[in-house]
Chain A
Amino acid sequence: DAGVIQSPRHEVTEMGQEVTLRCKPISGHDYLFWYRQTMMRGLELLIYFNNNVPIDDSGMPEDRFSAKMPNASFSTLKIQPSEPRDSAVYFCASSPQGNYGYTFGSGTRLTVV
């Protein structure tokens, strides 16, 4: 199994631009999570899906952030417009039903200048 795959690994963009982060979960995992990691705030849950349906998006910072999961093998996190304070490492994780151990991807390091 290739694990949770995220792309790109690094993204540098200018303030105001749209940024799309991508995630392919492990096949057969029912849950998908998006986390953000910063030095100041640590790991924050942004949103999670169960069977492609968003369950809790209360962690999404503001309307500039949106996430979709059009099918069981793909999810995107979009920031439009991006701001320097969005600079962070964004992780995607997946988990099968009833198994409380998440598998994380390698993350996308986003830098907004």
Chain B
Amino acid sequence: AQSVTQLDSQVPVFEEAPVELRCNYSSSVSVYLFWYVQYPNQGLQLLLKYLSGSTLVKGINGFEAEFNKSQTSFHLRKPSVHISDTAEYFCAVSDRYPGSQGNLIFGKGTKLSVKP
């Protein structure tokens, strides 16, 4: 079975500073990886996903993530954050096999707080 660990429950950062949100996963098989963002009182929105190909994945709102198989990590980065990036971010993993669409496992989330 897979599992996802988001190492930081909260990350405070100043506006225009870079940020990295860490995610490590555990799985005995190959995986698909995802980052979602949740703004207050809203549902989750897909930021980016890694299915195959280049290990550097670019998403919406200037975010990117890099898949590192040897370190089983999928850290999310943004070079310069904005106040509007304040939200909770979730890393998720799914097994890479037919029929795995239903077993997306989420981490506990990281609350990003951007201060002026």
The interface of chain A, by Cβ under 8 A from chain B, is 4, 31, 33, 42-43, 45, 48, 50, 55-56, 91, 93, 95, 97-98, 100-107
A4 vs B103: C-alpha distance in the bound complex, in angstroms? 19
A93 vs B43: C-alpha distance in the bound complex, in angstroms? 9
Interface pick from B20-28, B44-52, B63-71, B73-81: B44-52
Contacts of B90 in A (CB 8 A): 43
Q: Bits for B85-106, please: 1 = Cβ < 8 Å to A, else 0.
A: 0000010001000000111111
| Total count of chain B residues near the partner, CB < 8 A | 22
Is B108 interfacial (CB 8 A cutoff)? yes
Is there an interface contact between A48 and B102, defined as CB atoms closer than 8 Å? Answer: yes
Is there an interface contact between A102 and B104, defined as CB atoms closer than 8 Å? Answer: yes
- Count of chain A to chain B residue pairs whose CB atoms are closer than 8 Å in the complex: 54
Quote the shortest CB–CB distance from B53 to chain A (angstroms): 14
Q: Report which residue of A31, A42, A43, A55 has the largest number of chain B beta carbons within 10 angstroms of its beta carbon.
A: A43
Set A31, A43, A100: member contacting B51, Cβ < 8 A: A100
A107 vs B105: C-alpha distance in the bound complex, in angstroms? 18
Q: Which residue of A lies closest to B102 (CB)?
A: A48
Set B34, B42, B103, B106: member contacting A43, Cβ < 8 A: B106
Contacts of A42 in B (CB 8 A): 106-109
Is there an interface contact between A100 and B43, defined as CB atoms closer than 8 Å? Answer: no
Given A45-B103, A107-B43, output 11 extra A-B contacts at Cβ < 8 Å: A4-B43, A33-B102, A42-B108, A43-B44, A43-B106, A45-B104, A56-B103, A91-B44, A98-B101, A100-B104, A102-B46
